[in-house]
Chains A and B, each alone.
Chain A
Amino acid sequence: MFYRESGDFSTTYPQDSQTFPIRFDRYRYYVVLAVAFLVIPFIINDYWANAVFVPFLIYAIAAIGLNILTGYCGQVSLGTGAFMAVGAYSCYKLMTAFPDVSIVIHVLLSGGITAAVVTLFGLPSLRIKGFYLAVATLAAQFFLVWLFNKVGWFYNYSASGQISAPERSVLGIIVTGPNTEAWAKYLICLVFVTLCAIIARNLTRGSVGRRWMAIRDMDIAAEIIGVNPMGAKLTAFMVSGFFVGIAGALFFSVYLGAAEVGESFGIDKSFLVLFMIIIGGLGSIFGSFAGAAFMVLLPVFLKNVFVGGLGWPTDLAAHLQFIVSGGLIIMFLIMEPHGLAQLWRLAKEKLRLWPFPH
């Protein structure tokens, strides 16, 4: 009734391979974009920006990055937190070294630098896979955090060991620093999310994405039909690093404003992003968004219910929140191991027939 593909006939191959081949999907996507760009910026306030939208958008970029590596190419990484730190510290160094250059360019460059670093740490994947690769990336996590703590050059020898984002603006609108308006933070993140999602989708529907998925599903067969495993794996690490680096740069400059590496980019960040893609759905761009939304919104929602709704003390609510969200994650994984993206697919299959059962 609401969701139907009848009457939609692709007459050319480009039509058939577009992102949303079904007209209804396409219109819904335009509506979501229109609301995100034209409605939310006018009604957003500081609380919604800082608690919900900005972290959701930034984590969505990080989740897309990790999903490309783990969900599409099958290479497990536990170094996402540290790779975000690479993006954050690159952005900080660039912002302080070249104050006249636009922050947008700094963020993109940070993505590029992170891509190079992640590719370097991806080299072990040519020889090892699975759990062993996860351990190798875990080493990257600890090494990079140690490096950013130890070497003063990275935080410009500040006394606190912290990095803090100076005020920068895009087109005359302040986007970093303490004087940033909520809607400006939101909009700059939204622009980056949209670009990253479109790029990720383009890569995954073409030959690059097929190379990744072939390596993920059966690496030996992939090599025999002509996929160079080294090229496929390293491009996955590179693209993933680019997105994760952008996420790290935005996380530091737009969201946090000031960061300390062990606290902001520790191993818990790596796991958080990994949970996002597992819960959202491996190998799905939509899943990256769904997982990020789930992991960001769940604590906020539980806090509002416990403290706002039931009037419990904050410390009790904070602890209960861990227990409940942990329990929900386990329950969720047992009921739908393929994540929210699979639930969404099932819902669409049901909707195709609704309200007539046949």
Chain B
Amino acid sequence: MNDMSGGNYVTADGRQIGNTLMEMKNITLRFGGVVAISDISFDIHEGEIRAIIGPNGAGKSSMLNVISGFYHPQEGEVWFRGSRRPTMKPYQVAKQGIARTFQNIALFNGMSVLDNVMTGRLTHMETGLFSQALWRGRAEREEVENREAVEKIIDFLEIQAIRKTPVGRLPYGLKKRVELARALAAEPKLLLLDEPMAGMNVEEKEDMSRFILDVNDEFGTTIALIEHDMGVVMDLSDRVVVMDYGKKIGDGTPDEVRNNQEVIDAYLGVSHD
């Protein structure tokens, strides 16, 4: 087997994994006296599916929030595409090519599915107020170009039929899919998924897993995901980071992590005698 720690290898199913896309170096995040993340380092390679797992309260979502620029760590560095990222606002991070979905769906309920997915492309839309007001030339052209890109995503995720439906009327599983569509519409370099399968039944989980694999395969999108369903995590991901109480206790392939004594202790508990 290839050495995976440095990237640049071919997976068992033949996908090419590239160099390091993102690297977290010694991240520490505190809320007052509470240490949410303490001194965690890990990297994400281009093209891989990277899972972050751990029991509740381990700091997984906080880690995702650090990556998407919502929290700013007190210590540590975030490196993205070969350069150190300065402290950024979330919308600037989005412009860099990082998109995400949320644990509890954060769609825009007052808008249709199409408009929601179109908001995902706002980082690609630049026309100013005046040309928008007249709706001539550039504004209309830009709208059409982005609509074409969005329609591809809509086809890809098989949500054509609900294009014009207000999001509020959709069932839970479809909302999750629309949220994925919105994140994909941004054509991100790195896609963060916060519990994409939470609250889904087996069939919906299968659909979602298929979409995640297809996204990775067809668009070459690097994916970092948090998930509690171990079966899904072990099947989907190339490498797994395990967190517990804000610390990293394991990092490696699903097989390595599965056999790591610390990880087993964290999940199953250990007797303190």
Binding site for B on A (CB under 8 A): 12-14, 16-17, 199, 202-203, 205-208, 210-211, 213-214, 216-218, 220-229, 235, 238-239, 283
Q: Are B115 and A213 closer than 8 Å at their CB atoms?
A: yes
**Bound form: Cα–Cα A229–B70 in Å:** 14
Which residues does chain A contribute within 8 Å of B99, judged by CB atoms? 225
Known: A202-B132, A221-B108. A228 touches B143 (CB 8 A): no
Selected interface stretch from B89-97, B153-161, B208-216, B241-249 = B89-97
Residue of B nearest to A231 (CB): B91
Residue of B nearest to A228 (CB): B91
Q: Are B135 and A202 closer than 8 Å at their CB atoms?
A: yes
Q: Are A235 and B110 closer than 8 Å at their CB atoms?
A: no
A225: contacting residue among B109, B115, B139, B182, CB under 8 A: B182
Residue of A nearest to B136 (CB): A202
Q: Does B118 contact A (CB under 8 A)?
A: yes
Q: Are B118 and A210 closer than 8 Å at their CB atoms?
A: yes
Q: What are 28 residue pairs bridging A and B, where the CB atoms are less than 8 Å apart in the complex?
A: A12-B144, A13-B143, A14-B143, A14-B144, A17-B143, A199-B133, A202-B132, A206-B139, A206-B143, A207-B118, A210-B118, A214-B111, A214-B122, A217-B110, A217-B111, A218-B106, A221-B107, A223-B89, A224-B68, A224-B70, A225-B120, A225-B186, A226-B94, A226-B186, A228-B89, A228-B91, A229-B91, A239-B129
Closest CB in chain B relative to A69 CB, distance in Å: 15
Binding site for A on B (CB under 8 A): 68-70, 89-91, 93-95, 99-100, 102, 106-111, 115, 118-120, 122-123, 125, 127, 129, 132-135, 139-140, 142-144, 146-148, 182-183, 186
Q: Are A222 and B135 closer than 8 Å at their CB atoms?
A: no
Q: Are A226 and B95 closer than 8 Å at their CB atoms?
A: yes
**Bound form: Cα–Cα A217–B166 in Å:** 13
Closest CB in chain A relative to B161 CB, distance in Å: 15
**Bound form: Cα–Cα A235–B130 in Å:** 11
Which of A202, A207, A228 counts the most B-chain CB atoms under 10 A from its CB?
A207
Q: Are B134 and A202 closer than 8 Å at their CB atoms?
A: yes
Residue of A nearest to B185 (CB): A225
Which residues does chain A contribute within 8 Å of B102, judged by CB atoms? 221
Closest CB in chain B relative to A320 CB, distance in Å: 38
Q: Are A203 and B89 closer than 8 Å at their CB atoms?
A: no
**Bound form: Cα–Cα A222–B106 in Å:** 9
Q: Are B133 and A202 closer than 8 Å at their CB atoms?
A: yes
Closest CB in chain A relative to B188 CB, distance in Å: 10
**Bound form: Cα–Cα A210–B108 in Å:** 10
**Bound form: Cα–Cα A235–B108 in Å:** 20
Which residues does chain A contribute within 8 Å of B100, judged by CB atoms? 224
Q: Are A17 and B147 closer than 8 Å at their CB atoms?
A: yes
A203: contacting residue among B110, B111, B129, CB under 8 A: B129
Which residues does chain B contribute within 8 Å of A202, judged by CB atoms? 132-135, 139
- A sample of 7 more A-B contacts (CB under 8 A), given A213-B108, A225-B120, is A17-B143, A217-B110, A223-B89, A224-B106, A226-B95, A226-B186, A238-B129
Which residues does chain A contribute within 8 Å of B186, judged by CB atoms? 225-226
Which residues does chain A contribute within 8 Å of B109, judged by CB atoms? 217-218
Which of A216, A226, A227, A283 counts the most B-chain CB atoms under 10 A from its CB?
A226
**Bound form: Cα–Cα A285–B241 in Å:** 50
Which residues does chain A contribute within 8 Å of B146, judged by CB atoms? 207
Which residues does chain A contribute within 8 Å of B139, judged by CB atoms? 202, 206
Which residues does chain B contribute within 8 Å of A220, judged by CB atoms? 70, 106
Closest CB in chain B relative to A309 CB, distance in Å: 42
Residue of A nearest to B121 (CB): A207
**Bound form: Cα–Cα A221–B104 in Å:** 11
Which residues does chain B contribute within 8 Å of A239, judged by CB atoms? 129
A283: contacting residue among B68, B95, B110, B127, CB under 8 A: B110
Known: A13-B143, A283-B110. A226 touches B118 (CB 8 A): no
Closest CB in chain B relative to A205 CB, distance in Å: 8
Q: Are A206 and B132 closer than 8 Å at their CB atoms?
A: yes
Closest CB in chain A relative to B231 CB, distance in Å: 29
**Bound form: Cα–Cα A205–B133 in Å:** 10
Known: A206-B135, A208-B129, A211-B122. A225 touches B183 (CB 8 A): yes
**Bound form: Cα–Cα A199–B136 in Å:** 12
B148: contacting residue among A13, A210, A283, CB under 8 A: A13
Residue of A nearest to B179 (CB): A221
Q: Are A214 and B143 closer than 8 Å at their CB atoms?
A: no
Closest CB in chain A relative to B200 CB, distance in Å: 20
B132: contacting residue among A13, A16, A208, A283, CB under 8 A: A208
**Bound form: Cα–Cα A219–B56 in Å:** 26
Q: Are B110 and A13 closer than 8 Å at their CB atoms?
A: no
**Bound form: Cα–Cα A33–B187 in Å:** 42
Q: Are B122 and A207 closer than 8 Å at their CB atoms?
A: yes
Which residues does chain B contribute within 8 Å of A283, judged by CB atoms? 110
Which residues does chain A contribute within 8 Å of B144, judged by CB atoms? 12-14
**Bound form: Cα–Cα A138–B109 in Å:** 29
Residue of B nearest to A19 (CB): B135
Q: Are A222 and B129 closer than 8 Å at their CB atoms?
A: no
A-B complex: 7 closest residue pairs judged by Cβ atoms? A226-B94, A217-B108, A221-B106, A226-B123, A202-B135, A207-B125, A13-B147
Q: Are A214 and B119 closer than 8 Å at their CB atoms?
A: yes
**Bound form: Cα–Cα A224–B109 in Å:** 16
Residue of B nearest to A71 (CB): B110
Q: Are A207 and B127 closer than 8 Å at their CB atoms?
A: yes
**Bound form: Cα–Cα A42–B133 in Å:** 31
Known: A199-B133, A221-B108, A225-B94. A210 touches B70 (CB 8 A): no
